[in-house]
A = this chain, B = another copy of it.
Amino acid sequence: MDQFINQKETIVTDAIDGVLAASGGQLARLDGYPHIKVVVRQDWDKSKVALVSGGGSGHEPAHAGFVGQGLLTAAVCGDVFASPSVDAVLAGILAVSGKAGCLLIVKNYTGDRLNFGLAAERARAFGIKVSMVVVDDDVALPELPQARGVAGTLFVHKIAGALAEQGADLETVTAAAQKVIEGTGSIGMSLDTCTIPGSPKEDRIASGKAELGLGIHGEAGVEQVDFTDAKTAMQQVVAKLKPTMNGGGYVALLNNLGGATPIEMSVLARELARSDIASSLHWMIGPAALMTSLDMRGFSLSVIQVDGEQEALLQSPVGPAAWPQMQKLAEDAVQPLPDGLSPIKPTPSTHPERRAFLEKCCDVLISAEATLNALDAKSGDGDTGSTLAGAARAMKLVLDDLPLADLTQLYRAIGAELGQTMGGSSGVLLAIFFAAAGDASASGADEVGALKAGLERIQQVGGAAPGDRTMIDALTPALDALPDGLPAAAVAARTGADHTATIVKAKAGRASYLTEDKLKGHNDPGAEAVAMLLESLTNN
């Protein structure tokens, strides 16, 4: 699988450059490429407690995407899935730490613990106050004291970040971070492994299976489970977290591990909101890609029970766009359908002349069925005649239900009838034609004016213009000639229809997909239908 990278050696520095470019000048990096990859806040004055996090890359937007007001002060980025060096962490600490000191937020991986730990010692030798917390929110292996740090880390960033932004001291921020860590549980599920740049993808999860309890570095899940659907998947994840939960007031963080699509994440959000723990959840963060594992098609769920202070800290505004707003988990909000979806039945009225005219139109179209089908077969699927004849037959059955005496209402009623009985694009376009004619008539347009308004509207909606080899090529000259009488209109329509046989580069409709030899010498069947109708009305 190809990826949008340049080379695996520069993927992290390239990505950091991109994060900076899109940060609106809010972020900078330290001048230590390639070994020291540290992203820092540009607006930082060291007057408050600094928050430094990081670790291996491949978890974007974590962590560089969370550097900014109310979140991290600096992110120290290792190579993909590799801990940053002691020097890199130390550079991050020294770059942002003032007298208020620095909290290191470290995910529980040996490399990160050791490298951040030693960097902390080296920083302390400079007299800098440094504390360090280790996040171990993964509940996949409950018996292991060294649980991994996964997406629950974001709770720590947010709550500690908000406190630090308020000016709390290092002891307070550290204690708050530790309290979050103790209260957070997370678990992940995936349908596929991730693609590590430069390495072949391991194909270890069969279709119909999912891995439950996985880390964020492509390591295998604790167990493979059967996968059937999103609902069952969410139930399996929830079943792992539920035993750790007690009471209400929880915040859920629904994290995309990188390769799940937005529509899948929304389906999962639905299932979470209907799950066994839904009544314990007051808030939701996400669904969003927050702590990814490259392109892993999976998700993780993190939960924490919050008190009022933590709730307020989670709600406080932040700078980074990657942080989604926390939202109250909402009840289903359903509004009734509006009135007006069933078209108002017009009151029938009589107008013998118009009734006879309409009936004649219908008969002409019915009798033209075979001719128009044959013409359409030369450049299409041969059903133009049947489509028009079918609509005409249906119209004949309802002639006495029409508001024949009221031309405005009659246009609208014909439009509604065609919209319901005539299939395909042409049915919709003719429905629009007559509905627009009705509107124009209601506004005082005369007969020709009303029909021209219909023509204008179908050009706008359909996107076709004269010369595009459609029925418009006959309808336009016909309506232009109509003030001179039906015979003049029929002559104009015929000229227009015959001209379509010379248009070999169709620009709209289905004919636009056909080659020249399929079109040359054959009239467009829609234009031909208009011409035949007007000619028949004139001759009879």
Residues of A within 8 A of B (CB): 1-7, 11-12, 14-32, 36, 40, 42, 57-58, 60-61, 65, 86-87, 90-91, 94-95, 108, 110, 113-118, 120-122, 124-126, 132, 134, 144-146, 191-192, 207-208, 210, 227, 229-231, 233, 254, 258-273, 284, 286-287, 289, 292, 294-295, 297, 299, 321, 324-325, 327-341, 343, 412, 415-416, 419, 425, 428-429, 431-432, 435-436, 438-439, 457, 460-463, 507-508, 512
Set B25, B266, B336, B507: member contacting A18, Cβ < 8 A: B266
Q: Which residues of the other chain, B, contact A58 by a CB distance below 8 angstroms?
A: 263
CA distance A286 to B229 in the complex (A): 31
Set B3, B17, B270, B428: member contacting A117, Cβ < 8 A: B428
Contact flag A435-B125 (CB < 8 Å), given A5-B264, A268-B4, A428-B86:
yes
Contact flag A229-B121 (CB < 8 Å), given A30-B335, A208-B2:
no
Q: Which residues of the other chain, B, contact A210 by a CB distance below 8 angstroms?
A: 2
Among A31, A108, A335, the one with the most B-chain Cβ atoms within 10 Å of its Cβ is A335
Q: Which residues of the other chain, B, contact A435 by a CB distance below 8 angstroms?
A: 118, 121-122, 124-125
Asked whether, in the complex, the Cβ of B263 is within 8 Å of the Cβ of A330, the reply is no
Chain B residue at minimum C-beta to C-beta distance from A269: B18
Q: Which residues of the other chain, B, contact A264 by a CB distance below 8 angstroms?
A: 3-5
Asked whether, in the complex, the Cβ of B25 is within 8 Å of the Cβ of A335, the reply is no
CA distance A266 to B5 in the complex (A): 9
Q: Which residues of the other chain, B, contact A260 by a CB distance below 8 angstroms?
A: 4
CA distance A146 to B508 in the complex (A): 7
Set B17, B208, B261, B416: member contacting A295, Cβ < 8 A: B261
Among A18, A36, A341, the one with the most B-chain Cβ atoms within 10 Å of its Cβ is A18
Q: Which residues of the other chain, B, contact A339 by a CB distance below 8 angstroms?
A: 94
A502 to chain B, nearest CB (A): 19
CA distance A12 to B233 in the complex (A): 18
Contact flag A114-B262 (CB < 8 Å), given A18-B267, A124-B435:
no
Asked whether, in the complex, the Cβ of B267 is within 8 Å of the Cβ of A4, the reply is yes
CA distance A286 to B61 in the complex (A): 12
CA distance A271 to B15 in the complex (A): 10
Set B31, B115, B289, B334: member contacting A29, Cβ < 8 A: B334
CA distance A297 to B1 in the complex (A): 10
Asked whether, in the complex, the Cβ of B272 is within 8 Å of the Cβ of A21, the reply is yes
CA distance A324 to B340 in the complex (A): 36
CA distance A259 to B295 in the complex (A): 8
A135 to chain B, nearest CB (A): 12
CA distance A512 to B309 in the complex (A): 38
A278 to chain B, nearest CB (A): 9
Chain B residue at minimum C-beta to C-beta distance from A60: B262
Set B29, B114, B267: member contacting A6, Cβ < 8 A: B267
Contact flag A334-B28 (CB < 8 Å), given A261-B292, A267-B11:
yes
Asked whether, in the complex, the Cβ of A114 is within 8 Å of the Cβ of B428, the reply is yes
Asked whether, in the complex, the Cβ of B337 is within 8 Å of the Cβ of A32, the reply is yes
Asked whether, in the complex, the Cβ of B263 is within 8 Å of the Cβ of A294, the reply is yes
Contact flag A227-B463 (CB < 8 Å), given A18-B265, A18-B268, A22-B287:
no
Known: A14-B267, A60-B266. 7 other contacts (CB 8 A): A4-B233, A6-B229, A24-B325, A114-B425, A117-B462, A121-B432, A126-B340
CA distance A270 to B13 in the complex (A): 10
Contact flag A28-B333 (CB < 8 Å), given A5-B229, A262-B258:
yes
CA distance A378 to B324 in the complex (A): 50
CA distance A271 to B4 in the complex (A): 10
A74 to chain B, nearest CB (A): 10
Contact flag A15-B270 (CB < 8 Å), given A1-B192, A42-B333, A229-B7:
yes
CA distance A113 to B336 in the complex (A): 26
Asked whether, in the complex, the Cβ of A110 is within 8 Å of the Cβ of B425, the reply is yes
